[in-house]
Structure 1
Amino acid sequence: MSDKKSQTMVARLVGTAAALAAAWIVQQGIAQGWKAKTGHKPPKPDDDSNAGVAELVAAAALTGALVAVARVLATRGTARFTAKHDDKDLNPLD
């Protein structure tokens, strides 16, 4: 495997790990904030709770939107970081 391909694979793995970590952190933050605001954890689709449809929709929309934004930012940040370091690796005199 060439050096460039291995760098690309490492960048993908790091990007995936960063996106997963960002999604997990956001979900934990949403759960804590929801509990502080409502006194209980956010409803999940498979729960047999007394949550209304409006609460289910709000929890799903909030979680989905924030997790998607966190994943995009983590992926873009990782791509920028690896591109910056790939350029330095190609020309170490810069």
Structure 2
Amino acid sequence: MAAKPSTPMLAKIVGLATAAAAAWLANQAINQTWKAARGHKPPKAEDPGDSQLAEILVAAALSGAAVAVARALATRGTARFAVKSDLTD
């Protein structure tokens, strides 16, 4: 079985920072889109108010999906960059 190449600490830190930034940007995009379409910020489960359960579920699903995709793309992009830049051992 081939040994998995190790990833240096710098590549891990850059990957983590990139994934976090991508998740934040995706969340901001969802918030702005929701506000433009619905006239208010997306509801959160812990918010008191008259938000319908369906609206909370849709907001959570959209936010979760967007953040997951953004993190995956950012992580893959960082990994490709690390390989091309010879940041891996």
TM-score interval (norm. to shorter): 0.7 to 0.9
Question: What's the CA shift for 1:65?
Answer: 0.5
> Match of 2:8, SS?
helix
Gaps of 5+ in 1: none
Instruction: Return the offset for 1:49.
Output: 2.0
When normalised by structure 2's length, the TM-score is: 0.88
Structure 1 or 2: more helix by fraction: 1
Q: CA RMSD in A?
A: 1.8
- After superposition, residues 36-47 of structure 1 pair within 5 angstroms as 36-47=36-47
Which secondary structure state, in structure 1, belongs to the residue aligned with residue 33 of structure 2? helix
1:9: which partner in 2? 9
After TM superposition, the score normalised by the length of structure 1 is 0.83
Q: 4+ residue runs of structure 1 moved beyond 6 angstroms?
A: none
| Structure possessing the higher radius of gyration over alpha carbons | 1
2:60 is matched with 60
CA contact (8 A) 1:15 1:78 kept: yes
Unaligned segments of structure 2, at least 5 residues: 1-5
How far apart, in 2, do the equivalents of 1:49 and 1:39 lie?
15
Question: Aligned pairs, how many?
Answer: 84
Whole-Å Cα distance in 2 between the matches of residues 8 and 70 of structure 1?
23
Paired amino acid for 1:33: T
